[in-house]
Amino acid sequence: MGKRKKIAVFSPNIYEPMAHAIQDGISKAALDLGIKAIFFVTFSDDFTTRLYDEYKNYDEGDIAAFELPDLDDFDGIIRVDLAYGPYSQKHLDERLSNVSIPIVNVGGQDPRYLNVVTNENDSFTTLIDHIIEKHNCKDIYHLAGLKERSFTQSRIDAYRRSLESHGIPFDQDKIYYGTLWHDCGEPALDYILADCEKHGKKYPDAIVCANDYSAVGLVEACHKRGIDIPGDIIITGYDGLDEANQGYPSITTVAQPFSASGYEGVLTLKKIWDGETIKDDILIPGDLICNQSCGCKSMNTYNIEDIRSLYTRRMDRVSVLAQSTTNLILSVSSAQTMDECFQEITENSSIESGFTNMLLCLAPEWEEQRVIPPDFAKQDEEMTVVAGFIGAEPVKREVFRKKDLLPPDLLADPNPYYICAIHHLQYYMGYLIVSPQKESIDSLSMKSWYVNLGSMLENWRIRHKLNLAVQRLENLYNRDMLTNLYNRRGYESFFSEIFQACQKEGVPIGVMMIDMDNLKLTNDNYGHEEGDYSLTTIADGMRLAAINGEVCLRTGGDEFVVLAKNYSEEKATIYVQSLTEYIQKCVRRDKKVYPLDVSTGVCIRIPPKDAGNDEETIRSFSEEYLRIADAKMYEVKKAHKAGRN
């Protein structure tokens, strides 16, 4: 048995209806033929990008998904030819310009590639033939698509051929170029009605739209002005989307064979692998769907329950996804640690997020605002799965190689997976691996979910950086620069905390004074460097001896303090012994010619519970305990001096 073939599929969006249908056909064919399909998806599509135009760097981060695969590791490519944003399309075509493996373009016509596409000539011509022959329309306008889209001219050509074949003159002025979206309905209607008025007519017989979205927008514009559809004007769409079929009036359209085109795209790659030469594009006919907007279906035929059910289901999905997004924002914002953050992402994303599987994979140094380099596809690095779920089970943290794109278990199984970049504006963080649910979700809501996830990680990154900065400032404020022990300000904070804990639990607090013997003598005779050596050696020894929760501080030039909760004379004796042993060991190791000793004294008391714990009371006890410890320390210091004399 030969090695399993692997195809890279590049696509705009996941849940946009046309893309979703093509992707579904590709997935079915790949599973049927034993081919591994990996989808690389951006959300910088031609429609929704308009909402993010002010964020110029968004597309730069989003196209990281297209930069991930090393195409030399694949056997073929499918390019889903739908509504890419200009930046994404330019970037993708640059990536595909020098590959050596076969490319099949599905959903549109592009002269650079072998295309699997709807037979535009026959399908669009059939639609116009229908309104001419069945409904006797002669004055027909065309609401065309964007001039830069490849299918726009082919549909204009089909419109022209149909008119001329029926003896109707073609008039360029009866074409209005729209946006392929709802928003072109109003300006298109303004243009068409003004042109009709020039020719002494109130309305045209029909308006043929380049797609269903434009037709829906045009119908809405007509409703606002009291224009009856189809009584005053016949309107048709193209694509066969649910939005056209479930509206009122339902729109006469041509259902493009999106799923069949996706399936045929995979079959075409297989034929090429098997040695077959395919020179001509594969054309798949669409299906004419006659609805109310041309008059074929009565306006009394109004299946309100089906429409209401579809609308309610969609709104429920949007509401649940919006609630999931809100919950995710709140829970991630309240997470105290990075692990808690990832746990919240896992838990909230598993609730109606639109995926049956989801893995959040972060790149090394994702928090350092990375911008991917031009040769990113050839660079390998470790990816870490930090959050997500497979079915109903949370994922386990694991590391895999970026060149493999998927963790080993997912790479080995037969299922297709989708990869989308996680980023904040142009800064790459990693990617999501997902398996979409079969039922479509509003694509704008899903894009919003992705943008929010990247923003939440960015907010966490900023919060983490700020916390580190605050910690550094606190260290500068509360720590001694030479020894890195807490300083006098640190002492005040820790004493209050430990005193109140001991007072509440009825256990002893320990306050130990430590004083270096003869620091001035060392400085005067051996230099300040040796004085600093002595102080840092004592500090290191104090930290090493702190095995019972002791807090170590330097409160003055040669003065140190130890604070401890639930302390005892025995623990104090062990601490002092460990400290002095460490100091003498260092003196011998470093061959110091001067003595290095410390004098210590400890006060151990149980704070009275009825004493109160206001700031003034705590300060009073602090001073008292320090005096007791200091007095004991000076007794030891006197003994050291007497011994030396």
String of DSSP letters for 347-407: HHHTTTSSEEEEEEEEPTTGGG-B---TTGGG---EEEEEEEEETTEEPPPEEEEGGG-S-
| Selected residue with higher pLDDT from 167 and 465 | 167
Interhelix angle 443-478/488-505, nearest 10 degrees: 100
CA distance 27 to 488: 67
Residue 1 scores a pLDDT above 60: no
What's the pLDDT score for residue 339?
A: 87
What are the tens digits of pLDDT across the range 490-506?
A: 898 899 999 999 999 99
What's the pLDDT score for residue 47?
A: 43
The mean pLDDT of 226-241, rounded to a whole number, is: 94
Name beta bridge partners: 41.
11, 420
The mean pLDDT of 580-593, rounded to a whole number, is: 95
Given a contact cutoff of 8 angstroms between Cβ atoms, the answer to whether 209 and 215 are in contact is yes
What's the pLDDT score for residue 144?
A: 96
Given a contact cutoff of 8 angstroms between Cβ atoms, the answer to whether 169 and 161 are in contact is no
Instruction: Give the H or E element holding residue 124.
Output: helix 120-133
The mean pLDDT of 593-616, rounded to a whole number, is: 92
Cα radius of gyration rounded to whole Å, the chain: 37
| Selected residue with higher pLDDT from 312 and 461 | 461
Residue 316, exposed/middle/buried by CB under 10 A (0-12, 13-18, 19+)? exposed
As a whole-number percent, the residues of the chain with pLDDT over 90 amount to 65
What's the pLDDT score for residue 456?
A: 83
Q: Distances from the Cα of 82 to the Cαs of 42, 43, 158, 252, in angstroms? A: 12, 12, 20, 22
| Selected residue with higher pLDDT from 141 and 333 | 141
What's the pLDDT score for residue 320?
A: 64
What are the tens digits of pLDDT across the range 16-25?
A: 888 889 999 9
CA distance 234 to 536: 90
Q: C-alpha angle with apex 528: 522 to 532, nearest 5 degrees? A: 90
User: Mean pLDDT lowest for which of 143-152, 510-519, 560-569?
Assistant: 143-152
What's the pLDDT score for residue 476?
A: 67
Residue 229 scores a pLDDT above 90: yes
What's the pLDDT score for residue 151?
A: 87
- Position 204: which residue type? P
What's the pLDDT score for residue 15?
A: 73
CA distance 456 to 287: 45
Instruction: Return all residues near 501 (Cβ < 8 A) that are at least 6 apart.
Output: 565
Given a contact cutoff of 8 angstroms between Cβ atoms, the answer to whether 595 and 537 are in contact is no
Average pLDDT over the chain, rounded to whole? 89
Given a contact cutoff of 8 angstroms between Cβ atoms, the answer to whether 260 and 93 are in contact is no
Residue 243, exposed/middle/buried by CB under 10 A (0-12, 13-18, 19+)? middle
What's the pLDDT score for residue 352?
A: 66
CA distance 236 to 206: 8
Question: Is the bond into 230 cis (omega within 30 degrees of 0)?
Answer: yes
Structural domains of the chain, with CATH: 6-101+315-463 (3.30.450), 117-257+276-302 (3.40.50.2300), 488-644 (3.30.70.270)
What are the tens digits of pLDDT across the range 163-197?
A: 999 999 999 999 999 999 999 999 999 999 999 99
Q: Is 481 helix (H, G, I), strand (E, B) or coil?
A: coil
- Structure token digits, residue 72: 């030399």
User: Mean pLDDT lowest for which of 10-24, 192-206, 449-463, 570-584?
Assistant: 449-463
CA distance 166 to 173: 19
| Selected residue with higher pLDDT from 352 and 133 | 133
What are the tens digits of pLDDT across the range 415-464?
A: 999 999 998 888 999 999 999 876 666 666 677 777 888 888 888 788 77
Most distant pair of Cα atoms in the chain: their distance: 128
